[in-house]
């Protein structure tokens, strides 16, 4: 039986229910929704495709995609059963180069660095993720990363005030809010228009000046921000109530110590 037919049979079988995150509080429910690819994220703003391309800065809007190899349909390669099992992404199929998108999240944003990383692995394919302090880098094929960034800035996981799309960035303190409660950016990529209340980007992800500002709309108010909160804090959900997580973390830490000190003891646990 061909591998393609076997793959259909495997997909047809009943799958076990995936467990994304424990807990019954609001923060746990939010984390499960964000990581679950079957859950639809609520769209709260509309960003044109050309604006997404312009903000990333990898190519001009309407320009051609850069490629690193010919399309897969034009390549003459040896038979490989793995290629029958793994369906290529549109970018890989066309031979696009690898590009990236980088987000910085403040402490009160609707999506945080560690959770963002887990979200990428669960919702996207063909990804490589790097996390550095408050910044998370998503690397994919060029047209794939453009398709991924669009919902990341259009839906409920992005607050124009507390999340930013930026690459060149100092680490360690960039998650702070400035005097008008907008996430601090030393490169000043975005700014708040006090008359309209909109956040405008005047620079792209690499801090290159744009020909004209791009509006991403209003920021979330405190009531909406509380509804999409994913953090454990004293004013929302208290982390100390999560005894199940503490037990799990304690076991993981204990086994790591045993594994490094005397691996034979791990078998008894």
Residue 41 is given by DSSP the state P
Which residue reads 């998370």 in tokens? 136
- What tokens were used for 254? 């204990």
Q: How far is CA 228 from CA 24, 106, 156, 255, in A?
A: 15, 14, 8, 34
Render 53-72 in DSSP notation, one character per residue.
HHHH-SS-TTPPPPBSS--G
Tokens read off for 92: 């890989």
Render pLDDT for 126-179 as a digit per residue (tens, 0 to 9): 999 998 877 899 999 999 999 999 999 999 999 999 999 988 776 655 567 777
214-265 tens-digit pLDDT:
999 998 988 888 888 888 777 767 766 567 777 888 888 888 888 777 777 7
Helices 49-56/142-154 angle, 10° precision: 110
End-to-end CA distance of the chain: 42
Write the CA distances from 110 to 49, 78, 217, 237, integer angstroms: 23, 46, 16, 14
Q: Does domain 3-236 have CATH number 3.90.1150.10?
A: no
């Amino acid at each position: 039986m061909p591998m393609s037919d076997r793959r259909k049979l495997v997909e047809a079988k009943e799958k076990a229910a995936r467990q994304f995150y424990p807990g019954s509080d609001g923060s746990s429910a939010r984390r499960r929704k964000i990581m679950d690819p079957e859950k639809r994220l609520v769209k709260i703003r509309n960003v044109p495709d050309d604006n997404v391309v312009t903000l990333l800065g990898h190519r001009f809007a309407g320009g051609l995609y850069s490629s690193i190899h010919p399309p897969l349909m034009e390549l003459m390669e040896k038979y490989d059963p793995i290629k029958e099992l793994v369906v290529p992404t549109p970018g890989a199929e066309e031979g696009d180069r690898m590009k990236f998108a980088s987000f910085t999240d403040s402490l009160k944003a609707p999506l945080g660095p560690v959770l963002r990383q887990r979200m990428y692995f669960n919702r996207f394919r063909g990804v490589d993720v790097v996390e550095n302090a408050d910044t998370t880098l998503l690397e994919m094929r060029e047209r794939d990363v453009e398709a991924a960034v669009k919902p990341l800035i259009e839906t409920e996981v992005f607050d124009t005030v507390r999340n930013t799309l930026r690459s060149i960035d100092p680490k360690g303190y960039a998650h702070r809010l400035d005097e008008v409660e907008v996430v601090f950016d030393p490169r000043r990529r975005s700014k708040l228009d006090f008359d309209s209340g909109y956040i405008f980007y005047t620079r792209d992800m690499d801090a290159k000046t744009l020909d004209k500002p791009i509006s991403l709309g209003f920021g979330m108010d405190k009531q909406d921000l509380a509804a999409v909160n994913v953090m454990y804090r004293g004013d929302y959900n208290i982390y100390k109530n999560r005894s199940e997580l503490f037990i799990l973390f304690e076991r993981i830490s204990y086994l790591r110590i045993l594994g490094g000190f005397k691996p034979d003891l791990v078998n008894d646990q």
